[in-house]
């Protein structure tokens, strides 16, 4: 009976969370569509501030992780390719891996841990302090007032961080190959020959999608924060966990789509 009760409660909780998420998503879509007819209602100042915090303040950690990722990938792959005397093809591997897959997903994880949790904590604090109720009472929809600027900032910050992280990763790989007596000119020639416009554009499109997911999940967790002492912490945890799961699932679906498309 205890097991049945636990399963039943989990199913009911999942149903309630799913309904709340769909309601929040629908409200956000409606508010975004409303801005098409009234763009003056969009809070550009809040969006610029959120973009600064997400992009410029998060730039050092994104670039640092991208550089270390390039160094690690170069060392690990060169150790195997060096046995065949083709360590120069590490440049091709780095270009494909960073532009198509690792650059967007690693940057998205950084954004989720840094900005997604911040969005949830900020809005969650307003929820606990009943500031969201005050906005509603004054006729200011919290979704348009708080959510849309942060979601837009996350979508715009992701491509910027992704490009810089990918370039830092390529610089790290070039330094490793230079230690292995591979000329830097040869490395960059291989990178430019391998990295196609479609590959780069696809990676940037993925980064925009990941930014959208991080922004929506982070703001949604803040809007549904419990009005308890640990409500803000619960909201931040939900934002990070939910963002990581959504990033992994969406990346897997995109990989399947690319595989089917290439057939």
Q: What is the pLDDT of residues 64-94, one digit of tens each?
A: 999 999 999 888 888 787 777 777 888 888 9
Residue with tokens 């950084």: 110
pLDDT score for 15: 84
Q: Compute the mean pLDDT over every residue in the chain, rounded to the nearest whole number.
A: 87
* Interaxial angle between packed helices 148-179 and 2-37, expressed in degrees from 0 to 180 and rounded to the nearest 10: 100
pLDDT of amino acid 207: 93
Nearest CA to 177 out of 70, 25, 58, 59 is that of: 70
Distance from C-alpha of 204 to C-alpha of 212, rounded to nearest angstrom: 12
Structure tokens of 141?
């929809």
pLDDT for the residue numbered 161: 93
Q: Are 176 and 78 in contact (CB under 8 A)?
A: yes
The string of pLDDT tens digits covering residues 121-131 is 999 888 888 88
> Rounded to an integer, what distance in angstroms lies between the CA atom of residue 72 and that of residue 209?
27
pLDDT at 263: 52
The pTM of the whole model exceeds 0.85: yes
H/E segment holding residue 261 = helix 231-262
- Please check the confidence at residue 228 and state whether its pLDDT lies above 80: no
**pLDDT confidence of 262, banded at 50, 70, 90?**
low
Compute CA distances 83 → 79, 86, 88, 106, whole Å: 7, 8, 12, 29
Show the tokens assigned to 160. Answer: 């910027």
pLDDT in tens, 153-177: 999 999 999 999 999 999 999 998 8
Record the tokens describing residue 252, joined without a space: 């897997």
């Amino acid at each position: 009976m205890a097991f049945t009760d636990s399963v039943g409660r989990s199913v009911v909780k999942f149903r309630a969370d799913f309904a709340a998420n769909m309601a929040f998503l629908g409200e956000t879509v409606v508010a975004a569509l409303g801005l098409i007819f009234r763009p003056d209602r969009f809070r550009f100042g809040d969006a610029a501030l959120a973009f600064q915090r997400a992009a410029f303040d998060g730039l050092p950690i994104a670039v640092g992780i991208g550089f270390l990722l390039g160094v690690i990938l170069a060392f690990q792959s060169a150790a195997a390719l060096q046995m065949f005397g083709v360590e120069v093809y590490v440049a091709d591997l780095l270009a494909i891996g960073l532009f198509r897959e690792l650059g967007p997903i690693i940057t998205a994880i950084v954004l989720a841990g840094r900005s997604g949790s911040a969005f949830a904590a900020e809005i969650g604090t307003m929820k606990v302090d009943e500031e969201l109720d005050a906005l509603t009472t004054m006729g200011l929809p919290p979704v348009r007032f708080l959510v849309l600027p942060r979601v837009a900032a996350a979508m715009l910050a992701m491509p910027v961080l992704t490009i810089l992280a990918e370039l830092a990763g390529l610089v790290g790989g070039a330094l490793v190959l230079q230690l292995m007596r591979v000329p830097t000119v040869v490395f960059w020639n291989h990178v430019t020959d391998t990295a196609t416009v479609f590959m780069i554009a696809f990676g940037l499109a993925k980064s925009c999608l990941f930014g959208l997911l991080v922004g929506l999940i982070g703001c949604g967790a803040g809007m549904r924060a419990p009005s308890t002492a640990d409500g803000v912490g619960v909201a931040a945890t939900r934002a990070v966990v939910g963002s990581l799961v959504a990033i992994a699932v969406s990346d897997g679906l995109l990989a399947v789509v690319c595989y089917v498309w290439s057939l």
